């Protein structure tokens, strides 16, 4: 193949970017020329900015199923985004467009379809998001993380690949993580990840019981942009960060327990690393309920414990954490029996075939 050019798109939250990084790293090593299209000033611009990959920001609009005055202006933004994407794709001339989801991807896949460039999309959650539902119409192939998702997409397009995980995550060193955090080995490390954008209620509840928690654990709190609590700076055994990048592998290697939202990518990373996890999925009030299904699937398979946001109080947080501690061995045993597909290899093969 002479033209090994590919365009990636995906954004709005890190869950629509980090799986792309896992795939892009493999393609880069195989000599592919990669370009990224994301929204201007989205989290993807920050993350891809650290990756040495050309990034093009386009205009993007949110698609909503509810009334909002922006419903009148956002379609115009999407059209503008499609025109911008069209210009970029015409210039780059990729063989394939790989789309990880998020609203910014809609104009990109529309533009690709207009230029007859094959589009592959990947859906991380059990049920498809609105952007991917629309994108499916323009896609050649649809990859899914959960086998439960197969029947949500046309059978001639869909393929179960599993979740693309960044290989660096498996190279973490606990000792380096502890050293970076300034933590010791005498107390276990508990990492709280409120999803890539943070989770207000989890942040608040955790901070209310911080004194009790730091008696037993050393806490890493990934609290999301704008959610740092400066009054807690210097609290012994507590470290908060908005978001961490290259330090994440070491921090996870050092972590004995995880409390997290149930974003699909994060939970598959914890599963791959065999981390006992307590999941607090985003509620139906704030989402389509995809995280609830993700969490229930993991609970059913014996990989995780689940605490619903509606039931989240300081008491339930502490009792469920205690239960997580008691069930640690069983959860890890169940996780070790999981045989994940060879996701990155499957995806690479499909990309190469599609590009032919």
Ligand X SMILES: CC(=O)N[C@H]1[C@@H](OP(=O)(O)OP(=O)(O)OC[C@H]2O[C@@H](n3ccc(=O)[nH]c3=O)[C@H](O)[C@@H]2O)O[C@H](CO)[C@@H](O)[C@@H]1O
Query: Helix, strand or coil for residue 260?
Result: strand
Q: Is 22 annotated as a binding residue?
A: no
Write the binding mask 125 to 144 for ligand X: x where contact by CB under 6 A, - elsewhere.
x-------------------
Cα dist. 136→61, 121, 158, 184, 262 in Å? 18, 7, 10, 49, 24
Q: Which of 34, 58, 189, 193 forms a contact with ligand X (CB under 6 A)?
A: 193
Structure tokens given for 89: 């794709």
269 binds ligand X (CB under 6 A): yes
196 binds ligand X (CB under 6 A): yes
Structure tokens given for 66: 């509810």
Q: Is 196 annotated as a binding residue?
A: yes
Scan for tokens 């393929």, then name that residue: 159
For residue 307, the minimal CB distance to ligand X (Å) is 16
Write the binding mask 217 to 246 for ligand X: x where contact by CB under 6 A, - elsewhere.
-----x--------------------xx--
Q: What is the torsional sign of CA 87, 91, 96, 100?
A: negative
For residue 271, the minimal CB distance to ligand X (Å) is 12
Query: Helix 70-92 and helix 105-114: axis angle, to 10°?
Result: 50
For residue 27, give the H/E element and its range: helix 18-29
Q: Is 14 annotated as a binding residue?
A: yes
Structure tokens given for 202: 């989890």
- Per DSSP, what are the bridge partners of residue 258? 191, 277
CA nearest to 346, candidates 124, 89, 162: 162
For residue 164, the minimal CB distance to ligand X (Å) is 10
Structure tokens given for 134: 């629309």
309 binds ligand X (CB under 6 A): no
For residue 273, the minimal CB distance to ligand X (Å) is 10
Q: Is 39 annotated as a binding residue?
A: no
290 binds ligand X (CB under 6 A): yes
Which residues line the annotated binding site for UDP-N-acetyl-alpha-D-glucosamine?
13-15, 166, 196, 291
Residue numbers at the binding site for ligand X (CB under 6 A): 13-15, 18, 124-125, 193, 195-197, 222, 243-244, 248, 261, 263-266, 269, 282, 287, 290-291, 294
């Amino acid at each position: 193949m002479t033209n090994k050019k590919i365009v990636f798109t995906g954004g709005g939250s890190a869950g629509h970017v980090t799986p792309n990084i896992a795939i892009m790293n493999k393609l880069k090593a195989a000599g592919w020329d990669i370009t990224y299209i994301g929204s201007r000033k989205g989290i993807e611009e920050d993350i891809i900015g650290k990756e040495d990959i050309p990034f093009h920001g386009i205009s993007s609009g949110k698609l909503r199923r509810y009334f909002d005055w922006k419903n009148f202006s956002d379609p115009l933004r999407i059209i503008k985004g499609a025109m911008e994407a069209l210009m970029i794709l015409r210039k780059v001339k990729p063989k394939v467009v790989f789309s990880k989801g998020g609203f910014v991807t809609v104009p990109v896949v529309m533009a690709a379809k207009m230029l007859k460039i094959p589009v592959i999309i990947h859906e991380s959650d059990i049920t498809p998001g609105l952007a991917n539902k629309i994108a499916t119409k323009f896609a050649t192939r649809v990859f899914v993380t959960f086998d439960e998702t197969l029947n949500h997409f046309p059978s001639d397009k869909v393929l179960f690949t599993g979740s693309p995980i960044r290989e660096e995550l498996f190279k973490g060193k606990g000792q380096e993580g502890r050293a970076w955090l300034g933590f010791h080995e005498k107390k276990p490390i508990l990492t709280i990840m409120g999803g890539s954008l943070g989770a207000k209620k989890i942040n608040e509840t955790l901070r209310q019981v911080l004194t009790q928690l730091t008696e037993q654990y050393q806490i890493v709190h990934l609290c999301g942009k704008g959610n740092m609590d400066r009054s807690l700076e210097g609290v012994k055994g507590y470290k908060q960060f908005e978001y961490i990048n290259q330090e994440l592998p070491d921090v996870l290697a050092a972590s004995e327990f995880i409390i997290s939202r149930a974003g699909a990518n994060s939970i598959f990373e914890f599963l791959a690393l065999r981390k006992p996890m307590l999941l607090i999925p985003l509620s139906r009030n704030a989402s389509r309920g995809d995280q609830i299904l993700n969490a229930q699937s993991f609970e059913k398979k014996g990989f995780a414990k689940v605490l619903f946001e509606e039931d989240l109080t300081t008491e339930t947080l502490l009792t469920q954490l205690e239960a997580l501690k008691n069930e640690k061995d069983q959860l890890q045993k169940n996780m070790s029996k999981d045989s994940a597909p060879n996701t990155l290899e499957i995806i690479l093969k499909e990309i190469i075939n599609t590009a032919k």
